[in-house]
Amino acid sequence: MVKKVVTICREEGLEARPIAMLVQKASQFASTVYVEVGAKSVNAKSIMGMMSLNVTSGDEIVIVTNGADEEAAAKEIEAYLTAQ
């Protein structure tokens, strides 16, 4: 299992389009991918779950990946969330 704390650098935060792209990226991996914000944890492969987090620019989240390609999944998702 890989856990990474990530600060959202995307100017628009995580709105509909960036969330859709994140879900697509997470779905490419066999590993489970979860995003934690505070006490709430949602499957990053679920668009509705991700929308419920209401993440804005500057927020800190935790990416949790678990499975055969967990390192690659965590790295790619972190890169996407921290891109400007």
**Using an 8 Å Cβ cutoff, are 65 and 31 in contact?**
yes
Compute the distance between CA of residue 75 and CA of residue 61 in angstroms, rounded to an integer.
Answer: 14
Burial class (CB in 10 A: 0-12, 13-18, 19+), 32: middle
Per-residue confidence in pLDDT tens, the chain, 84 aa: 999 999 998 888 888 999 999 999 999 999 999 999 999 999 999 999 999 999 998 999 999 999 999 999 999 999 999 887
What is the reported pLDDT for 14? Answer: 86
What is this structure's pTM? 0.92
Q: Which pair of structure tokens corresponds to residue 71?
A: 């390192």
- In the chain, the domains with their CATH numbers are 2-82 (3.30.1340.10)
Phi then psi for residue 24, to 5 deg, are -65, -45
16 Cβ partners below 8 Å, 6+ apart? 51
